[in-house]
Amino acid sequence: MKGNTTFSFILLLLLLAVLTTAGAGLPFACDPRDSATHTLPFCTTGLRIEERVKDLIGRLTLQEKVKLLANNAAAVPRLGIKEYEWWSEALHGVSNVGPGTKFGGEFPGATSFPQVITTAASFNVSLWEKIGEVVSDEARAMYNGGMGGLTYWSPNVNIFRDPRWGRGQETPGEDPVVAAKYAASYVRGLQGTDAGGRLKVAACCKHYTAYDLDNWAGVDRFHFNAKVSQQDIKDTFDIPFRSCVMEGKVASVMCSYNQVNGVPTCADPKLLRGTVRGSWRLDGYIVSDCDSVGVFYDNQHYASTPEEAVADAIKAGLDLDCGPFLSVHTENAVQRGLLNEADINLALYNTITVQMRLGMFDGEPSAQPYGNLGPKDVCTPAHQELALEAARQGIVLLKNEGSVLPLSPRRHHPYAVIGPNSDVTVTMIGNYAGVACGYTTPLQGISAYSRTIHQPGCAEVACADDALFGGAIQAARRADATIMVMGLDQSIEAEFRDRAGLMLPGRQQELISKVSAASKGPTILVLMSGGPIDISFAKNDPRIAAILWVGYPGQAGGAAIADVLFGTHNPGGKLPMTWYPQEYLNNLPMTTMDMRADPSRNYPGRTYRFYKGPVVYPFGHGMSYTSFVHTIADAPKVVSVPVDGRHHSNTTVVSSKSIRVTHARCNRLSLVVSVDVRNTGSKDGSHTLLVFSTPPRGLGAPHKQLITFEKVKVAAGGQERVPIKIHVCKYLSVVDGAGVRRIPMGEHALHIGDIRHAISLEAQTLGVIKS
Ligand SMILES: *[C@@H]1O[C@H](CO)[C@@H](O)[C@H](O)[C@H]1NC(C)=O
Ligand SMILES: *[C@@H]1O[C@H](CO)[C@@H](O)[C@H](O)[C@H]1NC(C)=O
């Protein structure tokens, strides 16, 4: 008896212990109950963060310091500091890809938003920021509950340069301006906009830089040396990272596995100390990709000893290692004189400052801002509704012959729903996802509107055989319309898995053609994928009346697809990347980084900015159930660019062909173009105005470049005036062959839909400034 009671009591104690550690979120440091530490300066919230960080670093031994350079930073028990796992991910919802975040107990799942390439297609910056806010609410709630971290290594803002890239799905697409706006908006949403420099969670823009090859034709990211021109770095690869740091004020940047021009990015002082910390003034820490210091030592043989590799990385500006390499080898590197302890202090200064800004040294988490967030704030109806809304806004209508869409709901005669992606769940959330709150599959979404008959057609997306074709064809014969949900999944495109080509996998194309030929009614093709697919056959086949691209639409994807198919939502998404024909790849090694075409070697160039050949669907394509007409209400024809007098002896207009941006007086130098958007159809809709410019020829400028975009809602029959502000130095400039940004004088043609407006730029000196 007695033994049994003791046993129960011990069990109760154990249970209590588990509940308090997992549930209550004890302070990471500076526990008010710990009289030995909570009055030390680094715990004193009244002091400036800078002083607190310096105080803490001053108390650490070298051995303690090196253990803080790894993602799983060790505890410092004598100072009351617990261990901390830096690696968490929140690309499109709190994810369990990093070890810092787990699901279970009171947190069985989190809201799983559409994959980023889908959300990008909404071209809606306020949506991007809103998603960031919701994700960080859920992340803070999980941190408070002891299940998540506060440092999230998201977003991925690499340019989707090659359509085969397996991680293209994680990015906002191929355009630098879209990626730049996405980076700043999502990061602001995640980090919060506290003026005092405090952070809700710390985001991280990755992977810096020129990283967009995972594993192609025997070349992998661990060995790849990306040869990139200064021009491409400055006008393409740098743009989203610069905006992430300077406009988004991100708290972290991650360097990549690959080398750029022979130097591993995580060991390149020009990139890390020079550009990210120097020119862009990163207020935060620089982290390696996971084990990338080990990779440049072991795989790239960049340094001859592990200690030299460590010294290269830290001296280049790396502050934190995802992986054990720095914590294992740094002490020896100091002993051998390759590094000073001061170099390590600098790295720790950057990481610990971020922890302080997150409130990790402020004692009781429950007493802090966001301390009240908990399980009730995860997967709320409002959050799940936003995931549905994001999917609706990201869906792109590629084709709608004879306005076959929207469909009308059927109570009696069923629609056939066919395809390997027609009843999927996790496929819809893509990679770097977590555990969703729940799913609505396409079949479930469509069945909520209409009777259906369902046939998979292929057992999986690889579609290796035609065993299930017969059933699908039978179903299509009986149905008034056939909806085929096809495309890709992570078995075809993923991290470390680039695609071999752009066609649909296996026998999918054959299935689509056979089913649409047999179908009693029209066929509607719904494509799930991150990367573009060459579906020329479907575009040109009149029996395939409509095509939707839904990306990976997230947990509510099936409901969003159905809302678009049945017209409850009028689609307004636009492609954030070019859809190329398969032949585009004929002379395009994935390893050739050049953005610009080179006719002398038949190299076609990359993205709509530099490639002028045939496409299946262009960047920016996307239809609606209504129609929009643009007219320019007001726009300047001539704009003067004031030039600092020191750079010209003329006092009148200077006639140079271009002006260096650093010589122009850029402050407040912007112009406004007013555009009227009229909805001439019978349905309300949202419309994205994409504003492109074609700069004067010369300097190797893109033949066309998106300079800004605006999204507007216009009621059926209504009209909205949209003022479009264009910052001249930023958006009408181009980068020359030497990597210098210049504003070309002369005629810049703006393209908005099918209208064209020419603006002539001329330089004007402002008188000589005597120095
Ligand atoms: C000043 O402007 C005139 C006319 O545009 C030009 O011919 C002359 O070369 C300029 N002088 C200098 C020093 O730039
Ligand atoms: C952009 O997204 C937000 C959030 O979902 C939404 O309220 C707004 O209507 C969208 N804007 C347009 C023009 O569709």
Ligand 2 proximity of 710 Cβ (cutoff 6 Å) = no
pLDDT bracket for residue 18 (50, 70, 90): very low
677 pLDDT more than 50: yes
497 pLDDT more than 50: yes
| C-alpha span between 583 and 139 (Å, rounded) | 44
Say if residues 650 and 765 touch (Cβ distance below 8 Å): yes
pLDDT bracket for residue 667 (50, 70, 90): confident
Which of the following is catalytic: 212, 238, 289, 534?
Answer: 289
268 pLDDT more than 60: yes
Q: Write the CB contacts of 591 (distance below 8 Å, at least 6 apart in sequence).
A: 213, 216, 217, 219, 224
pLDDT bracket for residue 429 (50, 70, 90): very high
Convert 370-387 to b/e letters by CB count within 10 Å (16 or more is b).
Answer: bbebbbebbbbeebbebb
Q: Is 466 exposed, middle or buried (0-12, 13-18, 19+ CB in 10 A)?
A: middle
Instruction: Return the ∠ at Cα 695 (arms to 692 and 699), rounded to 5°.
Output: 135
Q: Write the CB contacts of 13 (distance below 8 Å, at least 6 apart in sequence).
A: none
**Active-site annotation holds for 598:** no
Which of 350-364, 643-657, 695-709 has the weakest average pLDDT?
A: 643-657
The residue whose CA has the least distance to atom 13 of ligand 1 is: 649
Query: Rounded mean pLDDT of 192-211?
Result: 94
Higher-pLDDT residue of 457 and 23 is: 457
Ligand nearest, relative to CA of residue 650: 1
Indicate the angle between helix axes 325-335 and 306-316, nearest 10 degrees.
100
> For residue 462, what pLDDT is reported?
98
Ligand 1 proximity of 649 Cβ (cutoff 6 Å) = yes
Ligand 2 proximity of 713 Cβ (cutoff 6 Å) = yes
**What would the pLDDT profile of 203-220 be if each residue is shown by its tens digit?**
999 999 999 999 999 999
Ligand 2 proximity of 124 Cβ (cutoff 6 Å) = yes
287 pLDDT more than 50: yes
Cα 745 to averaged position of ligand 1 atoms, centre (Å): 15
Say if residues 677 and 720 touch (Cβ distance below 8 Å): yes
Residue 379, classed as helix, strand or coil, is coil
Question: Mutate which of 655, 659, 768 to test ligand 1's pocket (most atoms within 8 Å of Cβ)?
Answer: 655
Cα 735 to averaged position of ligand 1 atoms, centre (Å): 25
The residue whose CA has the least distance to atom 6 of ligand 2 is: 127
CA-based end-to-end distance of the chain: 95
Say if residues 525 and 544 touch (Cβ distance below 8 Å): yes
Cα 390 to averaged position of ligand 2 atoms, centre (Å): 9
639 pLDDT more than 80: yes
Cα 712 to averaged position of ligand 2 atoms, centre (Å): 8
Cα 710 to averaged position of ligand 2 atoms, centre (Å): 11
652 pLDDT more than 80: no
Nearest to 491 by CA among 458, 524, 514, 469: 458
pLDDT bracket for residue 367 (50, 70, 90): confident
Q: Which atom of ligand 1 is nearest to the CA of 652?
A: 2
pLDDT bracket for residue 2 (50, 70, 90): very low
List the alpha helices (DSSP H) in 519-578.
536-539, 557-565
> For residue 26, what pLDDT is reported?
83
Indicate the angle between helix axes 557-565 and 381-394, nearest 10 degrees.
50
> For residue 646, what pLDDT is reported?
66
Ligand 2 proximity of 742 Cβ (cutoff 6 Å) = no
Nearest to 207 by CA among 495, 457, 590: 495
The residue whose CA has the least distance to atom 11 of ligand 1 is: 650
> For residue 412, what pLDDT is reported?
85
My answer on whether omega of the bond before 155 falls inside 30° of 0, hence cis, is: yes
Ligand nearest, relative to CA of residue 393: 2
Say if residues 19 and 351 touch (Cβ distance below 8 Å): no
Pairing of strands 653-654, 685-694: unpaired
Question: Mutate which of 118, 119, 126, 384 to test ligand 2's pocket (most atoms within 8 Å of Cβ)?
Answer: 126
24 pLDDT more than 70: no
**What would the pLDDT profile of 629-638 be if each residue is shown by its tens digit?**
999 999 999 9
Q: Which atom of ligand 2 is nearest to the CA of 711?
A: 13
Q: What's this model's pTM, rounded to 2 decimal places? A: 0.94
pLDDT bracket for residue 368 (50, 70, 90): confident
Nearest to 361 by CA among 1, 32, 682: 32
Say if residues 271 and 255 touch (Cβ distance below 8 Å): yes
Query: Rounded mean pLDDT of 548-570?
Result: 98
Say which residue the tokens 């940047």 belong to: 253
| C-alpha span between 399 and 571 (Å, rounded) | 12
| C-alpha span between 57 and 562 (Å, rounded) | 56
> For residue 635, what pLDDT is reported?
97
Ligand 1 proximity of 650 Cβ (cutoff 6 Å) = yes
Q: Which atom of ligand 1 is nearest to the CA of 653?
A: 5
Q: Which atom of ligand 1 is nearest to the CA of 656?
A: 14
Say if residues 107 and 147 touch (Cβ distance below 8 Å): yes
* SS3 labels along 462-501: CCCCCCCHHHHHHHHHHCCCEEEEEECCCCCCECCECCCC
Cα 713 to averaged position of ligand 2 atoms, centre (Å): 8
Q: Which two tokens mark 472?
A: 């699908």
Nearest to 511 by CA among 438, 630, 416: 416
Query: Rounded mean pLDDT of 463-490?
Result: 98
Which of 13-17, 55-59, 311-315 has the weakest average pLDDT?
A: 13-17
> For residue 698, what pLDDT is reported?
86
Query: Rounded mean pLDDT of 166-183?
Result: 98
Domains identified in the chain and CATH numbers: 7-376 (3.20.20.300), 383-587 (3.40.50.1700), 626-765 (2.60.40.10)
Ligand 1 proximity of 655 Cβ (cutoff 6 Å) = yes
279 pLDDT more than 80: yes
Ligand nearest, relative to CA of residue 648: 1
Cα 243 to averaged position of ligand 2 atoms, centre (Å): 22
Cα 124 to averaged position of ligand 2 atoms, centre (Å): 7
Say if residues 222 and 302 touch (Cβ distance below 8 Å): no
Query: Rounded mean pLDDT of 436-460?
Result: 98
Q: Write the CB contacts of 684 (distance below 8 Å, at least 6 apart in sequence).
A: 570, 626, 713, 714, 715, 716
Mean pLDDT computed over every residue of the chain: 94
Ligand 1 proximity of 304 Cβ (cutoff 6 Å) = no
Q: Which atom of ligand 1 is nearest to the CA of 648?
A: 14
Residue 399, classed as helix, strand or coil, is strand
Convert 430-449 to b/e letters by CB count within 10 Å (16 or more is b).
Answer: bbbbbbbbebbbbbebbbeb
Say which residue the tokens 């129609």 belong to: 627
Q: Which atom of ligand 2 is nearest to the CA of 393?
A: 14
pLDDT above 70 as % of the chain = 95
**What would the pLDDT profile of 561-598 be if each residue is shown by its tens digit?**
999 999 999 999 999 999 999 999 999 999 999 999 99
Q: Which two tokens mark 257?
A: 């596995």
Q: Which two tokens mark 38?
A: 């909570």
**What would the pLDDT profile of 127-170 be if each residue is shown by its tens digit?**
999 999 999 999 999 999 999 999 999 999 999 999 999 999 99
| C-alpha span between 527 and 505 (Å, rounded) | 12
Q: Which atom of ligand 2 is nearest to the CA of 389?
A: 5
pLDDT above 90 as % of the chain = 90
Cα 767 to averaged position of ligand 1 atoms, centre (Å): 14
172 pLDDT more than 50: yes
